[in-house]
Amino acid sequence: MQKNLEDLGCVNLSPREHLMKIINDISKKFNNILKGNFDSKNNELIGGARINYTFNSHFSSFINMIDPLENLKDDQIRALLYNSSGSSSVILFSHSAFEQLSKLSIQLLKPHSIKLVTIIFNELVRITNTIVNSNSVTRFPALNEMISVSLIKLFKENSESTHKFVEALIDWNISYISTRHPDFIKWSEIMNKDYEGHNYESFKNDRIDFYKDMERKVTLDTIPTILKVQGKTSYQEGIEIGIIKSMVISYFDIVKKIIIDQVPKAIMHELVIKSENMIQERLFLDIYDKKNLDEIMSESTEIATRRTKFQTTLMALKQAYDLVCSL
């Protein structure tokens, strides 16, 4: 009976003292759940372990499955190679073609990286719900609600700044394409890997026919309003498409590793750790100086009724015990 009474919480503290104790306990519990300093009684992942799984299994596995050229057909790449050359007749594709394709591939990483911020935000809310649903907080319904609202607001503020930070991280990699990275594929690797044994002298004999399958004119006419690359891919075009694909995939793999490593770090710094360090201060600012603190720290009717019942029963048991001892 005494244990049941203790489980309902103490009543010998002032409202402010009790609130201070609860705020400190919440901050400590949040830290412990993130760090794994708690007793786990089942095989379910909780708190920091869920965040770690999200970063190192869920996110990384998904990013590794992305095909940098999944939305690009060879004909699109073929047209890009011509367009990027402009009015010049280049021997091989221009650097701008590689840059355009690389930027398109890196852009594929942005929505998933930003979505990761939302996923971790939800995990922080999940941790908060676990804490505020404990007996020490649920006995005060008004306080329970205020704590939840205050912390979710804090997480939203930090997730917004994290969202911008992660978006900027992707944009940095899009805005500047550097092929000087030591892991970027070398020309010798490209040629040996994909094109060994080919006769490159045949390049000069390949010509693209934009007018293939179109009606032949006797006199020179204006070019079509819409001019598309048509016909089979020539030998030279096939070589160029293969080379630029290898280069784009190589560069994408470099950026992909950066994103898998840096995005979780950014989220941990800007959202998780920042929120963890601000919990105590935010709750004090939002709740501690409220004028209606007595009302906020009022127990629920159910808890108050149970407390009275346990106290009455415990008193009766003590009186009975004293009576038996006096006989």
The CATH number of whichever domain residue 166 belongs to comes to 1.20.120.1240
197 has a pLDDT exceeding 90: no
Q: Residue 26's pLDDT is what?
A: 92
320 belongs to a structural domain: no
43 belongs to a structural domain: yes
Residue type, 53: Y
315 belongs to a structural domain: no
Q: What DSSP letter does each residue of 179-223 carry, written as one string?
A: TT-TTSPPHHHHHHHH-TT--GGGGGG----TTTTSPPPSS--PP
Count of structural domains within the chain: 1
Q: Residue 204's pLDDT is what?
A: 43
74 belongs to a structural domain: yes
Residue type, 34: L
164 belongs to a structural domain: yes
Confidence of residue 5 (pLDDT cuts 50, 70, 90): very low
Q: What percentage of the chain carries pLDDT values higher than 90?
A: 43
201 belongs to a structural domain: no
pLDDT digits (tens, 9 = 90+) for 242-287: 888 989 999 999 999 999 999 999 999 999 999 999 999 999 999 9
316 belongs to a structural domain: no
More confident residue, 238 or 212: 238
273 belongs to a structural domain: yes
Residues of the domain holding 146: 13-196+234-300
pTM metric for this prediction: 0.79
Confidence of residue 87 (pLDDT cuts 50, 70, 90): low
Q: What DSSP letter does each residue of 30-49 carry, written as one string?
A: HHHHHHT-S---SS---THH
93 has a pLDDT exceeding 80: no
Mean pLDDT of the chain: 81
pLDDT digits (tens, 9 = 90+) for 125-159: 999 998 888 766 777 888 889 999 999 999 999 99
Q: Stretch 50-56: mean pLDDT, rounded?
A: 96
